[in-house]
A and B are shown apart, each in its own frame.
Chain A
């Protein structure tokens, strides 16, 4: 079970526990036993008195209202986890809101019950007995579990393990990938007089100068086709096939 699944399970468990706890006794204060008992028992929804005629002295606070609403929000947050990845932010914030309200309500309820069970007039000689109820401890446990669930719901999803060899691709950027290759950069070497040759033969017959426009025996190209006269140069072993006309002169390119 991954962490998110555990968070969902804990959130639901916390919500159910909190709702159940509101119906259990939060605290009990009284005197006597059996039929002669005299006192109060409070839950998240009501206060029961023994005898019933004491009902007017105890305020019946509905502590369960914010607790139940927080529990419902917690379940909603657990359900929102199953949304697509880019919408799971809703689950996380709903979980935070629900947990915050639940913890705040439980904490304050604990303080109210604690203050109610420890009145100042109960001294050494007072036979009043008081005890915290199981509902209060269950509420505290539900709050703690809700916090843990919210933390787990914020866990990042597990990244899939890479399969096969790991290939690091370098970005083809002029600023970062400009290292010289291990055997240097190949420099084109043009035949002597290659760059001047097409300029002399352009628009004029080549044999007027007493030499062939193509020093290596290639037939002269008809005028008017500059794109073809500047065609491929002779290949030199180990040199690039397409020499650039923007390169420097052949003397400068000799190694």
Chain B
């Protein structure tokens, strides 16, 4: 923005930026706003300040159980898909694999298949195999979805760092396993953290696959969706939404901080 321009006459870009940020964040801000509103109904005008919905949130076992289900599935999926992603990324970037392009293509396919199609095909497969629907089947489906994302994040990280660092570790007497732990892992750690956060987030708010593949244990998105039909159940969900919003803001800021430190380290490894 032009420094000489008075603030009440912003230029075109500033106006665009303000409209953009408003468009993105205004709807989200309704969440915390109504979570403090002293009314069952989500509508203006606001009736007054209250913390009762937060209290009610804590005292709603169904809601907390759904939250815990999502957290459990999310953490498991994040760890497993990041692990698979890391192994795949190492294989793809460090070894000459025959048919590498085809393998990569097949792994990436879930990224472009519409979720509903994937959900239906998985449902058919799982019922055909007589596997009971549960959080495990949800987790399995989420891994299918999350592993390509983990791979993308980790491949770019692995490609970014100098292969001779691993050779140097071998040359200095470490075997492949210790080379991984002493050199590869610390250097790709920012990528691993980014992948964990990304895959957790994807699993945490995924609806379609979870809706098709779970039985009696709802994940949080499914619980929220079902609460929409009961206005009285909704305000505690708003409180939960606001809490998650603040928590994810903190987590993402932290992740970004880690990532920048990683970039700084990496740029210093050049000459």
Genuine A/B complex: no
* B residues neighboring A (CB under 8 Å): none
Interface residues of A (CB under 8 A from B): none
